[in-house]
Structure 1
Amino acid sequence: MTTLIWGNRMKLKLSNVSRAITYALASTASVGLLSATAYAEESNEGAKKNIEKIAVVGSRAAPRSVGDSPVPVDIIGGDELSKAGGDDMLELLKGSVPSLNVHQNPISDAASLVRPANLRGLPADSTLILLNGKRRHRSSVIAFLGGGINDGAQGPDISVIPSIALKQVEVLRDGAAAQYGSDAIAGVINFVLKDASEGGSFAVKQGQYFEGDGDTTTIEGNVGLPFSDDGFANLSFQYKNSDATSRSVQRPDAAAYDAAGVPGVRNPAQVWGAPEIKDDFTLFGNVGLELSNSSEFYMFGNYSERDVKGGFYYRNPQTRPQVYSNDGGDTLLVADLDGLDSGISCPTVNLKDADGNRILDVTQIAAYQQIASNSDIGQNCFAFNEILPAGFTPFFGGNITDTSFTVGTKGEIESGTFEGAYYDLSGSVGRNESRYFITNTVNASLGAETPMDFSPGKYIQLEKNFNADISKGYDFGLAYDVNVAAGLEWHEETFEVIAGDEASFIAGPLTQQGFGIGSNGFPGFKPSAAGEFTRRNYAAYVDIETPFTDEFLMGWALRYEDYDSFGSTTNYKVTGQYQLTDDLSLRGSMSTGFRAPTVGQANVSNVQTNLSSGVLVDSALLPPTNPVSQILGGTELQPEESESYTFGAVYQSGDLFLTIDYYNIKVEDRISQSDKINLTDEQKVALKADGVPNVDSIAQVSFFTNDFDTTTQGVDLVANYSMDLLGGYATFSMAYNWNETTVDKFSAITGDFKVKRLEEDLPQHRATYTWSQQWEDFSGFIRYNYFGEYQGVHVDYDATAIMADPSFTFDAEVTYYATESLSFTAGANNIFDQEPEKLDFERATGIPNNNWGGKYYETSPYGINGGFYYVKATYTF
């Protein structure tokens, strides 16, 4: 049986074959179609039935059930995604895919604006993201402080995709660069938009953490409309606001200043928690139109925008370098406003008494009184304690705007040499802009004239894609037709840096006296660093699937890709599936892959504030070809190269479905941000001789590099079983992942601590067990989430690291169907409010107090905010 699918229409051509094969042309001919058996519930009727879902990922030939697939694929229905308390797509997926880990990254610069995710322990940009089978553009945000694993990662912004817009999500857990190109080393996630031409839903959700903060309100809707008599227009929107959270205690230094009577001390002075998200609006559209019996037009895209605001580290009013002191807090940093050559010297303000004890209230120090009172001795002298006596905590955030548009046509060729072939021609453009802001901070080099709010500039990521694909079955006398697919792709990627306002980057008049340059915490982008950086590449591929017998299938893929920057690469993939019995089959794959360095990684410059041995310092991230980087070992970036293989088994018997797959991924020359390297005096002298500006203000330098190799291996186990139970219908599901990463080779550029983070930050064992129950008027589920031991890290500082104990959480939800159209839902994530691992400084370093005001290790795999409850009302029409 051969089936052509056009939206909701299909034509059938029947032929006798030894097993039923369905050839499908759904969202695109450029990617494969794969069907998966899933259990679905007819919400308020309590009915139960097995349905077949079509997945546009993993193969370019016949769609097959998960049991017949030579590669592991998870299919998550849109209804299943909506069964969770949060609205962040990353959190929704984490509950369904155990090998996917997501961290909240408090106090992490841009990584708190667009959170990275890790599939199979690899960084966020090692997983290819598709929308309706088409490559999704990257975010403009580069995770400069990405918690070790994601340092420097630049992946797509998945959080802009609302669950209400989705028909399903397909997760290919296998290397697929030979099929799809760069980034598919860990796997592929394809988001499939709804395509109904009628009906829809509207929902309102309200939630809050058990701690009483993080209030979240979400309003969302979806509507399917006819687009003439032969098409559909499916539209979705989501509007969300989410308050910030705090899991902090007062820092001991801030508490001491408050007790000493220093005015203006915040409590807490430094916040660990989720950022505030305001006016998070997104709109998705999906349009299809049948042009003839053999051709179709399609179009889809989105517009999304949100404001995000979070906190930074507290600036101590006596020890913060380049603002309050440059000798560790022994003396106050005092500016001579007449200049260094005026012949007038400002008083020396000793911050410790004769016994070496710190004097917390500087107003009690006679030398400071001379400065503050503008006396004859202190005339024309200035210290930041005069305007910020309690120190300060910058607030960092951004406005994130994301847009995309794809248009194309697909169909069947009805005559000529390629009669019976399926084609797909498409073009797409995607743009992501991050406009940063930082408030409650200073440009110390401007002294008392500094503004407190800054606009440090923008990053813009722009991508264009054009695809031409064709697929045709040929009769070679095998069990059924051999499918041959081929295609061409052209891709252009542009990363643009727009300079910030002058006050955010200027070196003011106090620079030569040791005061810091630019907005403290996140200096603005200088005009010299601004500009557009563009790269183009094209690719050609061929993909063949050969059914040697009814029981034995093999697939072959070869892809050639050429980049105008570093040259070309060729990759292959071989897959196989053998049906041992009616119930049991074996499957496996072997492939090579690559990940090209992004244009942003190759060209971006940035200054971050980070902790080094417990002290805040400014660290410059420079392009790897910058003279500073080259002195420290930087070279032009090259693509990562990978080799991977998987093998597994599938067992299906009645209502029981079970898969188990082992995978092994070797990645050479991995691209990441180097360790923060301290500049020596000799290196600074050499840099000055080369004309590099503002060298004295740089304490540390990092750059992107191909410095280390890794081997990642693991096992995925997925099981489902359905039965009649308790007067209703029950589905039991289990998903387990064991994942282990080993760093095979590295140098001092990467450093020992980063290696530990790569190997130990993520739990090696993850599992979820879910019981879903359906009755006529009620439905619900209970989910158990298990997290194995992981490395607890605080403030990205190796002296704080410990191995945290395994833990678990429970999620639960119940829905009441009041009418055919109206339902009410109540539920909670982490329903028993399981706490993450608490900071243990005695165990880690012997430090008796919490210097930085946190309560939990940020690497907790289930976050630091605790339990979250929610209620939801849904109207379906």
Structure 2
Amino acid sequence: MKTLLTSTAIALVAAGAGLAQQPAGTTEDIIVVTGTRSEGRTALQTLAPVDVISNAQLEANGSTELNVALNYAVPSFSFPQPSLTDGTDSVRPATLRGLGPDQTLTLVNGKRRHVSALVNLNGSVGRGSAAVDLNTIPTSAIGAVEVLRDGAAAQYGSDAIAGVINVRLREAREGGGATLTYGQNVTTVPLLSGDRDETDGETFTAAAWAGLPLGADGFLTISGEFRDRSATNRSGPDPRQQYPAAGDPREASFNRLNHRFGNPNARDITLLANAGIPFANGNELYGFASYQNREADSAGFYRRALDARNVLAIYPDGFLPLIAPEVEDYSVGGGLRAQLGEWSADASLVYGRNQIDYTIENTLNTTLGAASPTEFYAGRLAYSQAVANFDLVRQYAVDAFAGPLNVGLGLEARFENFEIGAGEPGSYIQGAFPGAPGSQVFPGFQPSNEVDASRESFSAYIDLEADLTSRLTVSVAGRYENYSDFGDTLNGRIAGRFELTDALALRGSVSTGFRAPSLHQSFFTSTATVFTGGVPFETGTFPVSSPVAIALGATPLEAETSVNYSLGAVFAAGGFALTIDAYRIEIDDRILLSENLNSPEVQAILPAGVTSARFFLNAADSTTEGVDIVASYGWSVENIGEFNATLGYNYNTVELSNIQSTGVLSSLTPPPTIFGRQSTLRLEEGTPRDKFILGLDWSRDRLGGFVRATRFGETLSPGTAAASDVQLSEQWVVDLEGNIDITSRVNFALGANNVFDTYPDNVPAGLNFNGILPFSSFSPAGFNGRYVYGRVRVNW
């Protein structure tokens, strides 16, 4: 770390010396509210790095998904798009700085957002986590997104180890707009067996927003979005024998593209409202509410006609089972900002809920034989959260300081609930015939899996910030939290910013943080068919309090704890801005999901029908080191137009240490691996080592456009042994768009994401499931190829 920080400091001085040659001028002031409780701080004046992504930047993308837009706007943000990962196909997690999806706190209008009910259980990035689904927020409703890239648990509480994403909703009392976007993938899929042309992934999005007046000065901004996306398929042909009898003539006519590997079908309807009513005395009522309904379906592995899990009387040619979750997500919040003497007070209450109901289609329960239904309701997951906040801020004049002392005080109470509801009996029962019980691809939740678990937490914080001199700003924060299930924690943060010159400043921080174990990690339980080394196992996920987990040595989960160090600099002059920030994040007691344990000793203590077990535990420590570089420069050329160039770069490494087992398992001969090579490398190298984003925007009169090149660095798709690792080479993705103002209110755009139709490396033969799965789900840019689109936008 010392070498990293020293190298960064040298780079900063060199950059400052070289950039001082730029013509004098001022940069646009962008006021931020994330990471500071002092009013009026701009993105370049903050004590920690904050990226501000405007609505225009979010919409400069063919995709209308917020997670995709952020993946091409924030260099330390990663959003792989896995497939064949059950519910994770439809509720995909994102990461910041290579850490877990649940180690970044998400806020909406500065208020804590509820997480998804989904637990990511399969072998994707973020395995074992439950995180906020950012795609429940339509981009048309967003004014800007602020990404604080620094540990902030002392300011905001649990989950803010990697940083904070704050979605600031649009505020308007007049005007509005409507946007229609249509696109599809037009691509050539490079397969080891030969290229295949595809046109799929048809996506239609209709979005609109309108600003309405509330009273003399208030506003009500309403946004809505409808998105209908068809599935993509990047699977290779299945060369295997399909029918029980050798030489069956149907083999010659069988459609070998029997799998579906890519984006799922998805249909979203999203509504969001944001309102504020100021009063003459300076007080303000505010509120916001959101709702989304998402219907999706993703595929599992194809069951061939000869498969023992098939019933020929129902599916004589085999079948492709589909997982079809319906996600219902809503949130409502409101509060009052008021003056209490010299104090500015903010009292708020926010409630949110996410529920996932699983229907399994085109399937069967083998053990029911020919009488089996082909569709089952498999149960539900639900998570809800209520958060009450009371915050106070005021300024004190201190003679010894160059500026006032800003004092922030606050209290927070949070209530959480996690539920699992059972499916219909046919989705999980063992019938009279042999085979794996339950609906194929996703057995339903059983009555024994039902959970209704809750907890409460209470916290108090203090946040101090002041300009000690005309060039030195210092901030100190502390936060105490108490949880009903695991106890209390105390965390602190100190940060500073020093202006070397009017154009160049250094900044840095040291903080401690924590992440409370989620209710999902403490209480989730299920039984599902999981493939290990190509062999299916009926795998039980057991909560740490269950007799099975205790027999395997599980203990109550403790909170993850962290120490975050950062050192950086800011340079701004003449329309040019540059920030460079190095960081080190040390995390102890990371909560991770164990391997699927299936040794004879483990199987001896498992319930009937279950052949493998896994559970959560405080499994390891980790150290994350990296550097972020963000630069922008705007200029104009007479008779040519206005230009704005941007550069973003992130370099990031993660190293695990002190990997844990349990006393019970350690005593076995040989001891089973509780957290193995593949799981370790998934965390260490499953996201890109580095990432470049280079962009250029241009506009002149009625014309405009942009080109953006994103380079995703090397990524490892890990195997259980070195021979089964797949090293994914760097991949460039170039996006291009041109647009024209047809009238003063109507704009038309044509563009392409991944215009050169690049793909990640093919998975080598022998590791690609007979050529059926040609790409890795760890591919950081996905594997859908070129996407072309058109967009019409009308403003009023």
1:502, distance to aligned residue in structure 2 (A):
1.1
Q: Structure 2 matches for 1:363-762, cutoff 5 A? A: 384-413=311-340, 419-477=341-399, 478-510=401-433, 514-680=434-600, 682-687=601-606, 695-725=607-637, 727-747=640-660, 748-762=673-687
1:247 paired to 2:223: no
1:105 paired to 2:63: no
Deviations 1:743-775 (A, max 9, x none): 112143111111111112211110100011111
SS in 2 for 1:179: helix
Aligned position for 2:754: 830
The alignment of Structure 1 onto Structure 2 pairs a total of residues equal to: 745
1:289, distance to aligned residue in structure 2 (A):
0.4
C-alpha contact (below 8 Å) 1:793/1:859 kept by paired residues: no
Aligned position for 1:223: 210
The partner residue of 1:272 within 247, 261, 277 is 261
Distance across 1 between alignment mates of 2:594 and 2:603 = 19
Distance across 1 between alignment mates of 2:81 and 2:688 = 15
Aligned position for 1:766: 691
C-alpha contact (below 8 Å) 2:153/2:161 kept by paired residues: yes
1:453, distance to aligned residue in structure 2 (A):
0.7
Aligned position for 1:131: 108
C-alpha contact (below 8 Å) 2:328/2:354 kept by paired residues: yes
Q: Which moved more, 1:445-454 or 1:169-178?
A: 445-454
1:613, distance to aligned residue in structure 2 (A):
1.1
Distance across 2 between alignment mates of 1:232 and 1:259 = 72
1:255, distance to aligned residue in structure 2 (A):
6.0
* 2:654 counterpart letter in structure 1: T
1:256, distance to aligned residue in structure 2 (A):
7.6
1:452, distance to aligned residue in structure 2 (A):
1.4
Distance across 2 between alignment mates of 1:267 and 1:581 = 67
C-alpha contact (below 8 Å) 1:270/1:852 kept by paired residues: no
SS in 2 for 1:435: strand
1:250, distance to aligned residue in structure 2 (A):
1.8
Distance across 1 between alignment mates of 2:451 and 2:613 = 22
Q: Which moved more, 1:55-64 or 1:298-307?
A: 55-64
Aligned position for 1:53: 30
Q: Structure 2 matches for 1:278-427, cutoff 5 A? A: 278=267, 280-318=268-306, 320=308, 323=309, 384-413=311-340, 419-427=341-349
Distance across 2 between alignment mates of 1:256 and 1:782 = 50
Q: Structure 2 matches for 1:231-242, cutoff 5 A? A: 231-242=218-229
C-alpha contact (below 8 Å) 1:793/1:857 kept by paired residues: no
The partner residue of 1:208 within 184, 191, 197 is 184
Question: Given the two structures, how large is their TM-score scaled by the length of structure 1?
Answer: 0.83
C-alpha contact (below 8 Å) 2:384/2:416 kept by paired residues: yes
The partner residue of 1:861 within 780, 784, 792 is 780
C-alpha contact (below 8 Å) 1:262/1:389 kept by paired residues: no
Distance across 2 between alignment mates of 1:516 and 1:609 = 8
1:230, distance to aligned residue in structure 2 (A):
2.4
Distance across 2 between alignment mates of 1:283 and 1:562 = 35
Change (3 A) 1:146 1:231: farther
* 1:485 counterpart letter in structure 2: G
Distance across 2 between alignment mates of 1:296 and 1:284 = 20
Change (3 A) 1:777 1:303: same
SS in 1 for 2:67: helix
* 2:413 counterpart letter in structure 1: W
Q: Structure 2 matches for 1:8-87, cutoff 5 A? A: 51-87=28-64
1:88 paired to 2:11: no
Larger radius of gyration: 1
1:797, distance to aligned residue in structure 2 (A):
8.9
SS in 1 for 2:770: coil
Distance across 2 between alignment mates of 1:669 and 1:555 = 28
Distance across 1 between alignment mates of 2:46 and 2:26 = 22
Distance across 2 between alignment mates of 1:507 and 1:208 = 43
Aligned position for 1:811: 735
Change (3 A) 1:678 1:561: same
* 2:323 counterpart letter in structure 1: F
Distance across 1 between alignment mates of 2:247 and 2:630 = 56
Distance across 2 between alignment mates of 1:256 and 1:520 = 19
C-alpha contact (below 8 Å) 1:173/1:186 kept by paired residues: yes
C-alpha contact (below 8 Å) 1:612/1:797 kept by paired residues: no
C-alpha contact (below 8 Å) 2:426/2:438 kept by paired residues: yes
Deviations 1:383-413 (A, max 9, x none): x344434433211120001100001000223
1:589, distance to aligned residue in structure 2 (A):
0.5
Distance across 2 between alignment mates of 1:166 and 1:792 = 34
Change (3 A) 1:316 1:709: farther
C-alpha contact (below 8 Å) 1:793/1:858 kept by paired residues: no
Distance across 2 between alignment mates of 1:388 and 1:799 = 37
Deviations 1:728-753 (A, max 9, x none): 11011100000000011214311111
Aligned position for 2:7: none
RMSD across aligned positions (CA): 1.9
* 1:116 counterpart letter in structure 2: P
1:254, distance to aligned residue in structure 2 (A):
4.8
Aligned position for 2:189: none
Aligned position for 1:178: 154
SS in 1 for 2:615: strand
Deviations 1:6-42 (A, max 9, x none): xxxxxxxxxxxxxxxxxxxxxxxxxxxxxxxxxxxxx
Change (3 A) 1:535 1:461: same
Distance across 1 between alignment mates of 2:447 and 2:512 = 41
C-alpha contact (below 8 Å) 1:589/1:645 kept by paired residues: yes
Q: Which moved more, 1:741-750 or 1:608-617?
A: 608-617
Change (3 A) 1:424 1:494: same
Change (3 A) 1:852 1:520: farther
1:50, distance to aligned residue in structure 2 (A):
5.7
* 1:705 counterpart letter in structure 2: L
Q: Which runs of 5+ in 1 are unaligned?
A: 1-47, 325-383, 414-418, 688-694
1:776 paired to 2:701: yes
Distance across 2 between alignment mates of 1:421 and 1:444 = 67
C-alpha contact (below 8 Å) 2:27/2:576 kept by paired residues: no
Distance across 1 between alignment mates of 2:296 and 2:774 = 23
Distance across 2 between alignment mates of 1:144 and 1:76 = 31
1:851, distance to aligned residue in structure 2 (A):
1.9
Aligned position for 2:670: none
What is the aligned-residue identity percentage? Answer: 35
Aligned position for 1:339: none
SS in 1 for 2:496: strand
Question: Given the two structures, how large is their TM-score scaled by the length of structure 2?
Answer: 0.91
C-alpha contact (below 8 Å) 2:459/2:479 kept by paired residues: yes
Change (3 A) 1:683 1:153: closer
1:621, distance to aligned residue in structure 2 (A):
1.2
1:625, distance to aligned residue in structure 2 (A):
2.1
Deviations 1:653-677 (A, max 9, x none): 2111111000101111111211111
Distance across 2 between alignment mates of 1:259 and 1:852 = 22
